[in-house]
Amino acid sequence: AAGVIQSPRHLIKEKRETATLKCYPIPRHDTVYWYQQGPGQDPQFLISFYEKMQSDKGSIPDRFSAQQFSDYHSELNMSSLELGDSALYFCASSLTGTGVAGGPTGELFFGEGSRLTVL
């Protein structure tokens, strides 16, 4: 079965550069989430999109932006990179209403992540 695909898997950038991460959700999933996980930390929610519209926003810096395109893939753009941006960035997708109780959030399926290293 198709899973969430993220690219690139590894990315090395210098301070003040720009980086773009891509995410291709599971086909027919309508919601995409971005999480940031620093070393030894739990994933922190950045932003989510439902049917190509931003649905929720977490601790995403103003230097970051994201969007979901007509083919449902999503991109996370990070500008003016800082050393502290070095982390694993995970994308996840879900299908609304497919939670165990038919609730708003179905189970999240995560990609393998993109490891960003800022030098």
Partner 1 sequence: TQLLEQSPQFLSIQEGENLTVYCNSSSVFSSLQWYRQEPGEGPVLLVTVVTGGEVKKLKRLTFQFGDARKDSSLHITAAQPGDTGLYLCAGNTGTASKLTFGTGTRLQVTL
Three-state SS for 85?
helix
CB of 41 or CB of 80, closer to partner 1 = 41
Residues in 53-112 at the binding interface with partner 1, rule: CB under 8 A: 55-56, 58, 88, 90, 92, 99-101, 103-105, 107-112
> Three-class SS of residue 83?
helix
The whole-angstrom separation of Cα 15 and Cα 117 is 10
Distance (Å, whole) CA 48 – CA 8 = 20
Q: Smallest distance from the beta carbon of 69 to partner 1, in angstroms?
A: 18
Torsion of CA 10, 116, 55, 60, to 10 degrees: 180
Count the site residues for partner 1 by CB under 8 A: 31
Where does this chain bind partner 1 (CB under 8 A)? 4, 31, 33, 35, 41-45, 48, 50, 55-56, 58, 88, 90, 92, 99-101, 103-105, 107-113, 115
